[in-house]
């Protein structure tokens, strides 16, 4: 059974009020604060009370998912921040030190800030990313936070205020105007942070206009959200809950498909009564729920965890969608898993589930040229290779043209792979470079060319 809960957030400011943390030593709590001064920390009473098994910390996957661990910072970064805090430095100095460290953590992976932002009348359209022809991403400004922060989050930079203004859109009609002019867009993905932190009223401001006839070309509305896992009350007992479900029904009766792109990292998130009820209620509106997650060390780096998660999802009517490789940002040294290992975890989970579960695609890297999946390992003319494939490409024509990289047990990202068979470059690289150089955003002041190219190298 579930009961109503009132959302209570915990952050660095009130971390000492979390009773369960009293189990930790003074030193461990200090280490947590050191990290939380650099990377964003937030959790809530549901995660603490219902998802974490406090008899199993620090190994508990839900604990690892939202609570900072000492090793999430590199020793030199950790020591620097620890010294600053021990010296009772001023907030100003703490902040400056934090920002310095943050800039060393690749805060904007895969050209997110600039390369994907479209132009309209020569001006960047705020809060919109349009990388793949059919699908446009919208970042509502009121949805740039989450019900809790994942320690691995690839969007962490926006939670510490590094890019919020450049990134988000208000409810003004800029993005609507852009969508009206782009009839090739069939899907919009409202994302964040988590757009489902928004009030019903805000959510309506973004969604309802899109149900008008001038947006007939938009067939599918997707909402990317972690709320089903971190705050299922949103759909069950919160004040707005029934209104949210009514809005979902309205979208569907307007003739559009509504896909809730749910972030689930572990089957534990599906196991509580409130989580099950939320899924049921959302599904009852006619919305489909599709699930995605990266592979996260100490959270779900086990084939059995994935297999059980997919089976549970399919049983609940959720469609497994993406298995991601964690991006090269933030605590990547902590979370990084070699591609070879990611493939093994994926494959060993995939082979133990039925075809209904095998809608999941991966392991996929969201890199600068597109979503690249590692399809498998092969031996061709005596050379061991990774078989790679674009699931999405900056140029749609790159999709489904298998290509090959030298097998490598250590590589963790696309830029670390080398073309197989002695070739100089991957087939898409020349064109990608050209796409980047011709991108007029390169002339935009918010864009740093070097960063972008490094980025390509890096992503």
**Contact residues for ligand SF4 (CB under 6 A)?**
146, 149-150, 153, 155, 192-194, 226, 263
- In the complex, minimum distance from the CB of residue 443 to ligand SF4, in angstroms, rounded to a whole number: 30
- In the complex, minimum distance from the CB of residue 452 to ligand PLP, in angstroms, rounded to a whole number: 15
Choose the binding region for ligand PLP from 128-136, 301-309, 415-423, 447-455 (rule: CB under 6 A): 128-136
Residue 392 in the binding site for ligand PLP (CB under 6 A): yes
CA dihedral sign of residues 38, 35, 458, 290: negative
The answer to whether 236 and 2 have CB atoms below 8 angstroms apart is yes
Q: Quick one: which H or E segment has residue 103? A: helix 91-103
Which one, 5 or 155, has the nearer CB to ligand PLP? 155
Q: Which of positions 350-369 make contact with ligand PLP (CB under 6 A)?
A: 366
Find out whether the peptide bond into 363 is cis, omega within 30 degrees of 0. yes
Which one, 50 or 455, has the nearer CB to ligand PLP? 455
Among ligand SF4, ligand PLP, none, residue 194 binds (CB under 5-8 Å by kind): ligand SF4
Per DSSP bridges, beta strands 119-120 and 123-124 are antiparallel
Helix 75-86 × helix 26-36 angle, to 10°:
110
- In the complex, minimum distance from the CB of residue 67 to ligand PLP, in angstroms, rounded to a whole number: 28
Residue 131 in the binding site for ligand PLP (CB under 6 A): yes
Among ligand SF4, ligand PLP, none, residue 153 binds (CB under 5-8 Å by kind): ligand SF4
Residue 141 in the binding site for ligand PLP (CB under 6 A): no
Instruction: Transcribe 181-235 into DSSP letters.
Output: H-TT--EEEE-SS-GGGS-HHHHHHHHGGGGSGGGTT--EEEEEESHHHH-GGGG
Among ligand PLP, ligand SF4, none, residue 366 binds (CB under 5-8 Å by kind): ligand PLP
Residue 90, classified by CB atoms within 10 Å of its CB into exposed (0-12), middle (13-18) or buried (19+), is exposed
Residue 329 in the binding site for ligand PLP (CB under 6 A): no
Among ligand SF4, ligand PLP, none, residue 392 binds (CB under 5-8 Å by kind): ligand PLP
CA distance 392 to 403: 14
Q: Quick one: which H or E segment has residue 456? A: helix 449-458
The answer to whether 41 and 149 have CB atoms below 8 angstroms apart is yes
Which one, 46 or 390, has the nearer CB to ligand SF4? 46
Classified as helix, coil or strand, 391 is strand
Q: Which of positions 187-216 make contact with ligand PLP (CB under 6 A)?
A: 189
Q: Which residues form the interface with ligand PLP (CB under 6 A)?
A: 116, 129, 131-132, 135, 137, 189, 366, 371, 391-392
């Amino acid at each position: 059974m579930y009961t109503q809960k009132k959302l209570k957030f915990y952050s660095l400011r009130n971390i000492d009020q979390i009773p369960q943390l009293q189990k930790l030593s003074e030193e461990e709590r200090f280490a947590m604060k050191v990290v939380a001064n650099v990377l964003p920390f937030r959790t809530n009473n549901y995660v603490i009370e219902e998802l974490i098994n406090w008899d199993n910390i620090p190994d508990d996957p839900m604990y690892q998912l939202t609570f900072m661990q000492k090793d999430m910072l590199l020793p030199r970064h950790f020591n620097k921040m620890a010294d600053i805090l021990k010296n009772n430095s001023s907030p100003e100095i703490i902040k400056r030190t934090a920002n310095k460290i943050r800039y060393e953590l690749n805060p904007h992976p895969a050209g997110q800030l600039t390369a994907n932002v479209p132009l309209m009348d020569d001006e960047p359209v705020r809060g919109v990313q349009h990388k793949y022809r059919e699908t446009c991403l919208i970042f509502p400004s009121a949805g740039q936070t989450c019900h809790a922060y994942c320690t691995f989050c690839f969007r962490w930079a926006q939670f510490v205020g590094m890019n919020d203004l450049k990134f988000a859109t208000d409810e003004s009609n800029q993005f609507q105007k852009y969508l009206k002019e782009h009839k090739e867009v069939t899907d919009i993905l409202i994302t964040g942070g988590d757009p489902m932190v928004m009030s019903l009223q805000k959510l309506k401001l973004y969604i309802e206009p899109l149900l008008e006839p001038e947006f007939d070309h938009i067939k599918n509305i997707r909402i990317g959200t972690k709320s089903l896992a971190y705050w299922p009350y949103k759909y069950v007992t919160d004040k707005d809950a029934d209104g949210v479900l009514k809005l979902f029904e309205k979208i569907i009766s307007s003739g559009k498909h509504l896909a809730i792109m749910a972030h689930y990292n572990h089957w534990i998130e599906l196991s509580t009564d409130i989580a099950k009820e939320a899924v049921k209620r959302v599904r009852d509106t006619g919305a489909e729920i599709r699930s995605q997650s990266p592979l996260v060390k100490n959270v779900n780096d086990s084939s059995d965890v994935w297999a059980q998660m997919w089976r549970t999802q399919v049983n609940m009517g959720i469609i497994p969608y993406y298995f991601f490789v964690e991006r090269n940002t933030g605590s990547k040294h902590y979370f990084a898993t070699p591609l070879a290992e990611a493939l093994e975890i994926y494959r060993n989970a995939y082979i133990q589930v039925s075809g209904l579960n095998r809608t999941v695609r991966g392991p996929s890297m969201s890199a600068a040229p597109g979503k690249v999946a590692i399809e498998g390992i092969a031996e061709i003319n005596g050379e061991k290779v990774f078989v790679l494939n674009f699931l999405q490409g900056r140029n749609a024509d790159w999709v489904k043209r298998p290509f090959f990289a030298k097998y490598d047990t250590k590589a963790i990202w696309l830029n670390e792979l080398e073309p197989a068979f002695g070739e100089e470059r991957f087939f898409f690289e020349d064109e990608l470079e050209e796409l980047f150089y011709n991108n007029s955003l390169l002339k935009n002041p918010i864009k740093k060319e070097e960063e972008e190219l490094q980025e390509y190298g890096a992503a």
